[in-house]
């Protein structure tokens, strides 16, 4: 259901600062809303997003219920060497959505 999307360059110079953009399609149900029969719709949000490079943490963020649907992050990272960026989105229902992108430095 929820699809992650990530954008970053395929290549970089050693030590270059690149921009990473990450977005996931997610309803971010805040737990306050009522459905048409008046029942409260249970909370279901992405509550944590992380980005790592070759296993080293780069960026992490806890999200709360005020975040709108389809949360989007844009941040920068310094790329010391070729490697892989790993991304994780943690859902309230226990599922973890992942994506990764390789970047070559040369």
Partner 1 sequence: MTQKFKTSITRRHFGALLGAGAATLAMPAYLRAQGRPRVVVVGGGPGGATAARYIAKDSNGEIDVTLIDANETFTTCFFSNLYLGDFQSFDDITHNWDQLVANHGITKITAYATGVDRAAKTVTLDNGDTVEYDRLVLSPGIDIVYDSVPGYSEEVSEIAPHAWRAGRQTQILKEKLDALEDGQHIVMVAPPNPYRCPPGPYERVSMFAHVLKRKGFENSRIYVIDPKEAFSKQALFEEGWARHYPGMVEWYGPDIHGGILNVDAKAGIVETDFDTFEGALLNIIPAQRAGAIAHEAGLTNEAGWVPIDPYTMRSQEDEEVYVLGDATVAGDMPKSGFSANSQAKVAAMNIRGDLTDANVFPARYANTCWSLIETDDGVKVGAQYQPTDEKIESVSSFISQTGESDELRKETYEESLGWYDGIIEDMFS
- Chain contacts with partner 1 (rule: CB under 8 A): 1, 5, 7, 21, 23, 25-27, 29, 33, 41, 69-70, 72
d(CA 36, CA 20): 39
Contact between residue 91 and residue 40 where contact means Cβ atoms under 8 Å apart: no
d(CA 30, CA 100): 28
Residue with smaller CB distance to partner 1, 81 or 100:
100
Backbone phi and psi for residue 25, each to the nearest 5 degrees, phi listed first: -75, 115
Q: How far is the CB of 68 from partner 1 (least distance, A)?
A: 8
Q: How far is the CB of 60 from partner 1 (least distance, A)?
A: 21
Residue with smaller CB distance to partner 1, 82 or 92:
92
């Amino acid at each position: 259901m929820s699809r992650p999307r990530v954008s970053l360059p395929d290549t970089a110079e050693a030590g270059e600062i690149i921009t990473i953009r990450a977005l996931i399609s997610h309803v971010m149900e805040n737990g306050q809303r009522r459905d048409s029969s008046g029942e409260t719709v249970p909370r279901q949000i992405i509550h944590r997003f992380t980005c790592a490079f070759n296993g080293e943490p780069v960026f992490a963020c806890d999200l709360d219920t005020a975040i709108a649907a389809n949360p989007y992050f844009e941040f920068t990272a310094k790329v010391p060497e070729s490697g892989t960026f790993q991304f994780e989105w943690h859902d309230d229902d226990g599922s973890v959505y992942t994506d990764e992108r390789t970047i070559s430095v040369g």
